[in-house]
Amino acid sequence: MPKDLPSTGVRSKTYFSFVLTDSLEGYPTQGHAMSLQVHLDGKLVPKDEAKISVYDHGLLYGDGVFEGIRVYGGKVFLLAEHIERLYESAKAIRLQIPVDPATMTRQVEETVAANRIGDGYVRLVITRGAGSLGLDIRRTSHPQVIIIADTITMYPQEMYENGMPLVTASTIRNHPGALSPRIKSLNYLNNIMAKIEGTDAGTVEALMLNHKGEVAECTGDNIFLVKRGVLKTPPTDAGILEGITRNAVMRLARESGITVEEVSTTRHDVYVADEVFLTGTAAEIIAVTSVDGRVIGSGKPGPMTKQLGQKFKELARRGGF
């Protein structure tokens, strides 16, 4: 999809990208051959010098929060929404972010500009900071603010054209009574365990159910289905991350006169849907054409998926609502 998005051409000829094998909430990312500037603890530093303590509780315990944000045409997409979710996640885990939202917004924009990102991705990470080897947050000091701006590759282009298969993972989404899935925390093991099941089954995403056996979301994407012209998605109380792309797609659909319902969803509902698609900052909108061996609808990306995909592309081109 992004190949049709405007490119500012700001990436100079001296830059080139290469595919790394690491994973960005589930799929390969790209990196620069030249040194990136990373915003760390209030300053831009070369990537190789961007280091934090091995005593940081972000590393020791996955204690921290993060955001993944898109950049289109040099403009950070839906930044206010991401900043709001970041501060809400931090509040939920009682992490005091050392700068205010306005400063954080400015620092994200500075990092994108410093790295001359045209179409790319920002990873914003707040760790609890270095502490003792115990869990006690009172022994930590100084949360670390890390802002990385880089380029990105999504799922294979062929899947954007023809759709992707999904399997349901046996690993369920975090029980909301243990850790709310609405917190975008640095602890992604729950999703990683499900992702491994998908990889083992030969898929690039996996469907996750909640503790009640209802459909929740995928390991790094939200799920939508279309049935008889109505767009449906699991509600936030199904134990999902309240995706920013999800909210944008629901708004675009309503603006186009489509009925949107946030309803509890079973696997059966997914199997018999006319269309299924996923949404996520990195993935954008991608059709799902089979789930657990059941072909969805016509087995090709459906008309509403394509219509909303087009509307989303236009929204990205405009830079937001």
User: By the criterion CB under 6 A, which residues form the site for ligand PMP?
Assistant: 25, 68, 191, 217, 220-222, 241, 243-246, 279-281
CA atoms within 13 A on the CB side of 57: 24
Q: How far is CA 246 from CA 82, 98, 221, in A?
A: 13, 29, 9
Cα angle, residue 161 at apex, residues 157 and 165 outer, rounded to 5°: 85
Question: What's the min distance (Å) between Cβ of 281 and ligand PMP?
Answer: 3
- Closest residue to ligand PMP in the complex (CB): 243
Residue with smaller CB distance to ligand PMP, 111 or 233: 233
Least Cβ distance, residue 132 to ligand PMP (angstroms): 30
Per DSSP, the three-state class of 7 is coil
Q: Could you tell me if 210 and 168 are in contact, meaning their C-beta atoms sit under 8 angstroms apart?
A: no
The tokens describing 231, both together, are: 């767009």
Min separation Cβ 193 and ligand PMP, Å: 13
Q: Which is nearer to ligand PMP, 220 or 301 (CB)?
A: 220
SS3 43: strand
Q: Is 306 a catalytic residue?
A: no
Active-site residue, selected from the candidate residues 3, 75, 184, 300 = 184
Copy the structure tokens of residue 294: 């059941």
**To 10 degrees, the CA torsion angle through 249, 250, 253, 257?**
-170
Shorter beta-carbon distance to ligand PMP: residue 11 or 246: 246
Cα–Cα distance, 107 to 112 (Å, whole number): 9
What residues contact residue 161 under an 8 Å CB cut-off, 6+ apart? 301
Q: Shortest gap between Cβ of 70 and ligand PMP (angstroms)?
A: 8
Nearer to ligand PMP, 211 or 300 (CB): 211
Residue 75 or residue 246: which is nearer to ligand PMP going by CB? 246
Shortest Cβ distance from residue 227 to ligand PMP (Å)?
21
Selection from 174, 161, 167, 267 nearest residue 214 by Cα: 267
Give me the active site residues, please. Answer: 184
